[in-house]
Structure 1
């Protein structure tokens, strides 16, 4: 029993029987009678030969042995210890029992192979029974170099793990896809890292926004000198939290432990960078590509090239009366900015317009967006009831009919209405970026077009198929 107990860390408990505060005299052993109700403590034997063996094995050859000098049962093999016959009885040692289990031999009972533990020290100190040995002293006494190196490596790993768990960074949430989904809207950590591998090479030559509102091109070697305490991937993570969760710059400043002005620069820099990188990818699909991915639901409308809808984002009331008149939306009864978004029948975003004032009509926005130049006579578009754009396009228009005075819609009209629901779901995916699900502050209106476009384009990378085949 005691051999097993010697190999584990004890939980010392105060005894309530008024025992003297006597200590085990073995070097590096912290056991005391007063604070231990598990171990037994034994006097040195009277037999001179056995006593010499005790002193030699303990390695403490220059100290006075009194009636209160004890050795705890941790240092004896289990077959040397006689268990008490009654609950309150004392453990006894067999005749000739010698302590052999110590910290410096890992409680294995192996011979230490040295003259005396305290003789190896340059300075000879008397044993302080009340002192708790310093960990460094224990390591130095035990060994040597290899054990010290291993201990240093272990402590460095532990510090790194603690630092990672306390620092707000992407690595802290890498093991939780639910957290990744919440903070970035990417389905899984694997999706996020796949997207990062696509944009990471270009990030080394990113054009960063400085405090002086100037732009400077930084090489990979100069990036660390920009004054940032965050790695590029954590800057991207900060930007995604701002976009996806709608956290304020002040909150992000506290979370990432950086200055609020630095947060503002990171957000603006990454908005411009992703706007440029994602905007350089051709998202408009050819007729052949659209038909190759056409879902079964659209088989009755095989020439549908794009499903179109408008999205309005509520914004803070401008101080200028002129601007108030331009951005006020009669449809939303609020001040808004407005954008046009188009998707292929299978759900991929294939067109994103720039934002305009909320007072513009759907038809006006449609004409200004530039999508008309992409349409061909053999194509067809699917729009909402309010999109009266038949005279603006060179192709067919599928539009749900108004109920007018009829009680019910026809089966074909119901189907067109149901198909259009997919683009409403797409708008919902964009608005899962909570920055656009609230009133947009005036302070970010300078980069709102970039933020909106990036949010729309990211939908193609963050989620699975919108319309299942």
Structure 2
């Protein structure tokens, strides 16, 4: 800001390269009145922008010590002008502005370096005098401290050359600033949730997505990208939409939390998750969750089943997921559902049947049904039986009572190693019955391990599920959003290098 001295007849102005200092009027009422009286402008009252230049002090600057002669300005060599005197005309102001601009340009180009150096020596001497005077007036009130900021001349603020003759190397300064800027960019990038921040950090990929490394994440992105073109979202890129959805499934973060992390609205998060789940359900699930051929099953059959059940096609079991509110099924809402006790709180549950290959990958996932539906009804009505071939063996960790339905397909149903309830009593260790019991326990642990692995990798499956994901099933697929989430979680689990083969 350009300041002009308020003393009538004084034309001093703050310009580039000037050694003059400009002081605001004191806040102390008594001292302020003495300054106004010294200026001697009838009827004039200073404002916040009023300044007094250093030429009106004997020593060339104001002093805060009341005993000093420069406590109040006293040098006024020019006769005061009348209050009616007008300010310089527009033409004169324009000429002065041009002179100021020319001086500033010369100063920036280094043409006035010698003059600046001489002024720097004067400033150094004045600094020493100021230090002595400041020590004498250190006990005064600090309410005028900001006057010091105003009294700093432009030659100090805009000083580009040092006291030595060597000029400043602006190339080195520019390189240092560029290096600092690059370091800050890398730091921000590392803290952000972007492709570059995940590319070389497998642990970060695993924590946020559940996938083993960036290569698998990139493969999933490549598979889904062509189907995301119709999604209109100017806030989030395709990668961010996928990452947001995986974080929702992996960490079970609330929509508000994700909105803060990605800098979007909660509604954007909700729409993104639902759309991405639909895309992954129609694209990723058929690719990763499929019923293998009999040749593929026999080729990699674990040794634990190779002798007893070489035609084992699938190991099945049921698991439940609690949800917050009753789910709407068709036109009626199921209000009387069994409860799932957890930490003293009662939740309703959804039930799913899962089929696991002996090699440890999920090959079948049913849609969710209310918890009051029996395991037998779920197994017979979910479509699993339609995939069986004559001669296939279906193993279960417990009795699902579907032996007749499986037999109707020409397949065999076995509990573990062929044991049935009640056969464990009276078995001796080392007997065939005991071996069958051991095999049954191994099968049960196998299925439980796979289910536990999926739930641990994608915490959203542990529940309780929000009501927005358990709405009435869609007409086209007969699957609710959460049904698709369960299938997507199983598909993503199959992509991980973490198969749990039967031991």
TM-score range, shorter-chain basis?
0.5 to 0.7
Task: Give the greater-gyration-radius structure (CA).
Answer: 2
**Secondary structure of 1:313's aligned partner:** strand
Q: Does residue 429 of structure 2 align to residue 421 of structure 1?
A: no
Counterpart in 1 of 2:488? Answer: 454
Question: Which residue, out of 189, 198, 203, partners 2:225?
Answer: 203
Counterpart in 2 of 1:373? Answer: 386
Indicate the RMSD between aligned Cα atoms, in angstroms: 3.4
Counterpart in 2 of 1:316? Answer: 324
In structure 2, C-alpha distance between the alignment counterparts of 1:182 and 1:201, rounded to whole Å: 21
Distance 1:319 1:414, change over 3 A: closer
Q: Does residue 304 of structure 2 align to residue 294 of structure 1?
A: no
Aligned runs of 1:242-321 on 2, under 5 Å?
A: 242-281=248-287, 283-300=290-307, 301-318=309-326
Offset at residue 136 of structure 1 (A)? 8.6
Q: Does residue 234 of structure 2 align to residue 227 of structure 1?
A: yes
In structure 1, C-alpha distance between the alignment counterparts of 2:351 and 2:254, rounded to whole Å: 23
Q: Does residue 362 of structure 2 align to residue 328 of structure 1?
A: no
Question: Which residue, out of 398, 415, 425, partners 2:414?
Answer: 398
Q: Does residue 457 of structure 2 align to residue 439 of structure 1?
A: no
In structure 2, C-alpha distance between the alignment counterparts of 1:397 and 1:451, rounded to whole Å: 29
Distance 1:459 1:158, change over 3 A: same
Offset at residue 264 of structure 1 (A)? 1.0
Offset at residue 297 of structure 1 (A)? 1.5
Q: Does residue 261 of structure 2 align to residue 236 of structure 1?
A: no
User: Is the Cα–Cα contact under 8 Å of residues 170 and 237 in structure 1 kept in the other structure?
Assistant: no
In structure 2, C-alpha distance between the alignment counterparts of 1:326 and 1:386, rounded to whole Å: 26
In structure 2, C-alpha distance between the alignment counterparts of 1:435 and 1:405, rounded to whole Å: 37
More helix by share: 2
Offset at residue 185 of structure 1 (A)? 1.8
In structure 1, C-alpha distance between the alignment counterparts of 2:470 and 2:112, rounded to whole Å: 73
In structure 2, C-alpha distance between the alignment counterparts of 1:464 and 1:318, rounded to whole Å: 35
Counterpart in 2 of 1:20? Answer: none
Offset at residue 280 of structure 1 (A)? 3.0
In structure 1, C-alpha distance between the alignment counterparts of 2:188 and 2:468, rounded to whole Å: 34
**Secondary structure of 2:403's aligned partner:** coil
In structure 2, C-alpha distance between the alignment counterparts of 1:341 and 1:305, rounded to whole Å: 13
In structure 1, C-alpha distance between the alignment counterparts of 2:465 and 2:187, rounded to whole Å: 37
In structure 1, C-alpha distance between the alignment counterparts of 2:384 and 2:159, rounded to whole Å: 72
In structure 2, C-alpha distance between the alignment counterparts of 1:424 and 1:297, rounded to whole Å: 17
Distance 1:198 1:180, change over 3 A: closer
**Aligned residue pairs, count:** 331
Counterpart in 1 of 2:353? Answer: 340
1:375-413 CA distance string (max 9 Å, x none): 011211101323111111120112142236824562212
Aligned runs of 1:177-216 on 2, under 5 Å?
A: 177-187=202-212, 191-200=213-222, 202-206=224-228
Offset at residue 159 of structure 1 (A)? 3.4
Offset at residue 334 of structure 1 (A)? 4.5
In structure 2, C-alpha distance between the alignment counterparts of 1:308 and 1:342, rounded to whole Å: 5
User: Is the Cα–Cα contact under 8 Å of residues 304 and 502 in structure 2 kept in the other structure?
Assistant: no
How does the TM-score come out when normalised to structure 2?
A: 0.58
**Secondary structure of 1:340's aligned partner:** strand
**Secondary structure of 1:205's aligned partner:** helix
Q: Which runs of 5+ in 1 are unaligned?
A: 1-117, 208-216
How does the TM-score come out when normalised to structure 1?
A: 0.62
**Secondary structure of 1:306's aligned partner:** strand
Distance 1:165 1:331, change over 3 A: closer
User: Is the Cα–Cα contact under 8 Å of residues 253 and 259 in structure 1 kept in the other structure?
Assistant: yes
User: Is the Cα–Cα contact under 8 Å of residues 326 and 358 in structure 1 kept in the other structure?
Assistant: no
In structure 2, C-alpha distance between the alignment counterparts of 1:135 and 1:467, rounded to whole Å: 74
Offset at residue 242 of structure 1 (A)? 1.0
